Structure 1
Amino acid sequence: METAIESERKYDVPADFALPAVDGTGEPATHELEATYFDTPDLRLAAHRITLRRRTGGTDAGWHLKTPGDGAARVEHRLPLDRSADGVPAELLAPVRAVVRRQEVAPVARLRTRRVETPVRDAAGRTLALIADDTVDAEAYGEAQHWREVEVELVEGGPEVLEAVERALLAAGATPAAGPSKLGRVLGGRVPAPDRPALSARGTVAQVQRYAREQRAALVANDPGARAGDEDAVHDMRVAIRRLRSTLKTFRSVWPADRAGRLRDELKWLAGPLGAVRDAQVMRGRMDRLTGDFPAAHDRLTHGLADDLDRGRRELTEALEGDRYLTLLDELDAAVDGPPAVGAGRVRRRARKALVRADELLAEADERTGDDRDPHLHEARKAYKRARYAAEVFGKPGRRLAKALTGLQDVLGEHQDAVITGQLLREHAGRAHEAGENGFDYGVLHERQRRAGERALEGLAAARRAASRRRIRRFLG
């Protein structure tokens, strides 16, 4: 499947609009396009700004799936028309499975477009952008519409090309499009809001529910990238799950106890394969940096991590394709979009309790020495992470505390990374010894990690003081 980043701008124009002169424009070409758009009965794809269509005619005929990208950009997934002629290709449904769930995907709109496409080229003949002057006839739910619009899509040019073309179009009478897409225009008010408001919630309870919905949205948004093995998406999806589990635990009174507990268990299950993939990705990069001067150790370590990563990706794909995952998403929707439990409250008190518990665990670690201290520092780190997520719930009042806790968590995290790396080095040193290889390199590397862990803890006292300031904790009471 081909993937591309689409960067374009759309403009509404009157029926008698005359395309203005733009420097570098070439000869226009006319195309007759026919497109069928697919969605669920309740228009879930449109609600999430996702477009799925089958188009004939023009230079890019085929199946197209467009998903939100950074800013105004969109990610477009493409397949040729000779694939799965009897229905939507499975390769295009997989990236949106978290949105459509078990719903059937069927045609919801049909558009016929007469497109006059004009290239914008530089002096070397490179196509910088395409200006598409579209006259559209559309039908959806038995209603017909007709309009004209202009699209400008970047090809090899930069943002300055879009700006220059836009200035010319606006001067000629065009206006920025009122809607984001042709499909959005033809569907109109039928498209639902993607997130329903919390029911019967006020004050801090509503803040908890809003935070949980934001994490649910992050989980779903990163699903396609996680399926593709994108490192950032795997990380962000894993973090969203951590935040959800932490919120369900810290503020468990907001939800019925049985529902919160079951969701935490299911999110923990999903975090397993995500963690296996992410940990292997991170450790592989760490080993690349660490073992550059030790080729034999590098080969053994990276080969093993590559196997771990392949296995983790297979397990993650299996989890995301399974019915258990879809059930988890349905239950998560019911929890974060539904009314709070009877008696929900004392939110600030519960956040304060999470912070005090983290302080206690770090104090307990102070009483330990040597290797015995490491697991206690790790538990404190996890507790401060939960406290940080709790602070994030409160928005602006919690930002300074969350930032300070992030600094403390990072110090403890650097130490824990060194501990885990050292454990991996010891494990592979044993394997190398059994294979008759020289284990000296592993000893050198292990000592480096021990020292790295010690250096990390040199910043602990300062990070601890910063996170303990009364003025940034005061909002919790």
Structure 2
Amino acid sequence: MSLYRPAGQAAAAFLLAKRKEVALYADAAMSGDPEGVHDLRVAVKRLREALRLFSKLLPRRLRARALELTEQCNDALGRVRDLDVLLGHLQWLEEHAPAAVEALANLRETWQEQRGLALEDLLALWRRFKDGARLHTRITKLADATTLRTKQLQRLPLESFAYLSIRARARQVAERLTALQEKDDPATLHRLRIAVKRLKYTMEPFLQALPALAEPYAVVAKVQEAAGLTHDYDVLEAAVLEHFRTSGLRRTRAARQALEVLRERRAQLYAATRQEMKTLARPQWHQALMYALD
């Protein structure tokens, strides 16, 4: 993708590429395979973020129709994937808190049942999408219409569009960095995690055209992964605590061991995340980003 290609044409090409990714992972996801669900959810998220990133370049009505289906698909995939993640982390907890295995059995069964129902909902949605054909058609129509637009913004060089978009997202991350250094707060982490994730997805379309962007992008991806794992354990701890409360097991040895293991794990993850976050606040990272965009 050339730096000097008009942004409108580049946006259309990127949407078509993301459409192909969705089609590539659909069969594995609909089989119920956890990795397939994960891969398709990432592909759908990238498509959604592209629809957001290039929103001003896209015909409004066609974009809204494409985004509607993309959001529905993302939400349905998310309900399955979130339970896969929780079940995976619950297995880790059972391995590190063996006294709690029996006390957590009902929670595991509940999540497995919910996962099955969420997968049924996903399959039903995909059938309504005619095995993805409706989404495929809407993205294709949107991309075709975008290439025909003649507004001034469409002709903006991709290089300039990348600079403006990435700088805006980077500023949002910078504004939220300080708060996490002060305390281990799930809400603060969540806001920062979302900002970092959006910066990551904003950088991705331009990696081919801006090779030097790979270095600062790798840092962002590593930070996003650390923050995501920490957030997962925030969710797990809250769910496990609620399970023990509602089941009358809160004051048992099993609960004490499980919650102590989770507290230690969260403390480690928050410390690691703060350390990773520091790289985004360093002048070297900002300089590498500006060099890539120059």
TM-score scaled by structure 2? 0.82
Determine whether 1:234 maps to 2:37.
yes
Give the alignment of 1:246-257 within 5 angstroms.
246-257=49-60
Q: What does the per-residue CA deviation read over 1:368-402, in whole Å, with 9 as the maximum and x for residues that have no partner?
A: 6343xx22221222222221222121112432222
Which residue in 1 is equivalent to 2:196? 384
Identity %: 19
Unaligned stretches of 5+ in structure 2? none
Which residue in 2 is equivalent to 1:424? 239
- Output the CA distance in 1 between the equivalents of 2:80 and 2:221: 23
1:218 Cα deviation after fit: 0.9
317, 328, 335: which one aligns with 2:135: 328
- Output the CA distance in 2 between the equivalents of 1:210 and 1:307: 40
Which residue in 1 is equivalent to 2:47? 244
Could you tell me whether the CA contact under 8 Å between 2:216 and 2:288 is conserved in 1? no
1:422 Cα deviation after fit: 1.1
Other structure's SS at 1:336 match: helix
Could you tell me whether the CA contact under 8 Å between 1:226 and 1:237 is conserved in 2? yes
Could you tell me whether the CA contact under 8 Å between 1:401 and 1:473 is conserved in 2? no
Determine whether 1:214 maps to 2:17.
yes
Query: Which amino acid is 2:269 matched to?
Result: G
Could you tell me whether the CA contact under 8 Å between 1:219 and 1:237 is conserved in 2? yes
User: Between Structure 1 and Structure 2, which shows a larger proportion of strand residues?
Assistant: 1
Which residue in 2 is equivalent to 1:288? 91
User: Between Structure 1 and Structure 2, which shows a larger proportion of helix residues?
Assistant: 2
- Output the CA distance in 2 between the equivalents of 1:203 and 1:335: 17
Other structure's SS at 1:237 match: helix
Structure 1 residues 248, 423: closer, same or farther in 2, change over 3 A?
A: same
Could you tell me whether the CA contact under 8 Å between 1:429 and 1:439 is conserved in 2? yes
Which residue in 1 is equivalent to 2:112? 306
Determine whether 1:260 maps to 2:63.
yes
- Output the CA distance in 2 between the equivalents of 1:308 and 1:456: 32
Give the alignment of 1:104-183 within 5 angstroms.
none
Which residue in 2 is equivalent to 1:404? 219
Other structure's SS at 1:209 match: helix
Structure 1 residues 210, 400: closer, same or farther in 2, change over 3 A?
A: farther
- Output the CA distance in 1 between the equivalents of 2:81 and 2:247: 25
1:338 Cα deviation after fit: 3.8
Query: Which amino acid is 1:286 matched to?
Result: H
Which residue in 1 is equivalent to 2:293? 476
Query: Which amino acid is 1:369 matched to?
Result: K
1:309 Cα deviation after fit: 1.1
Which residue in 2 is equivalent to 1:353? 168
Could you tell me whether the CA contact under 8 Å between 1:384 and 1:405 is conserved in 2? yes
1:295 Cα deviation after fit: 1.8
Other structure's SS at 2:38 match: helix
Could you tell me whether the CA contact under 8 Å between 1:238 and 1:275 is conserved in 2? yes
My pick for the range that moved more, 238-247 or 461-470, is 461-470
Could you tell me whether the CA contact under 8 Å between 1:207 and 1:393 is conserved in 2? no
Could you tell me whether the CA contact under 8 Å between 1:378 and 1:416 is conserved in 2? yes
Q: CA RMSD in A?
A: 2.7
Could you tell me whether the CA contact under 8 Å between 1:274 and 1:316 is conserved in 2? yes
Could you tell me whether the CA contact under 8 Å between 2:222 and 2:276 is conserved in 1? no
Other structure's SS at 2:146 match: coil
Structure 1 residues 408, 270: closer, same or farther in 2, change over 3 A?
A: same
Q: What does the per-residue CA deviation read over 1:423-454, in whole Å, with 9 as the maximum and x for residues that have no partner?
A: 11122112221799764344334423432333
Query: Which amino acid is 2:68 matched to?
Result: D
- Output the CA distance in 2 between the equivalents of 1:318 and 1:441: 41
1:462 Cα deviation after fit: 4.2
268, 272, 275: which one aligns with 1:459: 275
1:226 Cα deviation after fit: 0.9
Determine whether 1:339 maps to 2:136.
no
Could you tell me whether the CA contact under 8 Å between 1:218 and 1:236 is conserved in 2? no
Unaligned stretches of 5+ in structure 1? 1-200
Could you tell me whether the CA contact under 8 Å between 1:432 and 1:439 is conserved in 2? no
Which residue in 2 is equivalent to 1:269? 72
Structure 1 residues 384, 414: closer, same or farther in 2, change over 3 A?
A: same
Structure 1 residues 358, 435: closer, same or farther in 2, change over 3 A?
A: closer
- Output the CA distance in 2 between the equivalents of 1:464 and 1:355: 9
How many pairs align? 274
My pick for the range that moved more, 465-474 or 244-253, is 465-474
Could you tell me whether the CA contact under 8 Å between 2:230 and 2:273 is conserved in 1? yes
Larger RCO (CA within 8 A; separation ≥ 6): 2
1:300 Cα deviation after fit: 2.3
- Output the CA distance in 1 between the equivalents of 2:197 and 2:180: 16
My pick for the range that moved more, 409-418 or 432-441, is 432-441
Q: What does the per-residue CA deviation read over 1:100-128, in whole Å, with 9 as the maximum and x for residues that have no partner?
A: xxxxxxxxxxxxxxxxxxxxxxxxxxxxx
- Bigger Rg over Cα: 1
Query: Which amino acid is 1:447 matched to?
Result: R
Could you tell me whether the CA contact under 8 Å between 1:354 and 1:386 is conserved in 2? yes
My pick for the range that moved more, 330-339 or 459-468, is 459-468
Could you tell me whether the CA contact under 8 Å between 1:250 and 1:351 is conserved in 2? no
Could you tell me whether the CA contact under 8 Å between 1:388 and 1:405 is conserved in 2? yes
Query: Which amino acid is 1:375 matched to?
Result: A
Other structure's SS at 1:296 match: coil
Other structure's SS at 2:134 match: helix
297, 312, 323: which one aligns with 2:103: 297
Could you tell me whether the CA contact under 8 Å between 2:233 and 2:262 is conserved in 1? no
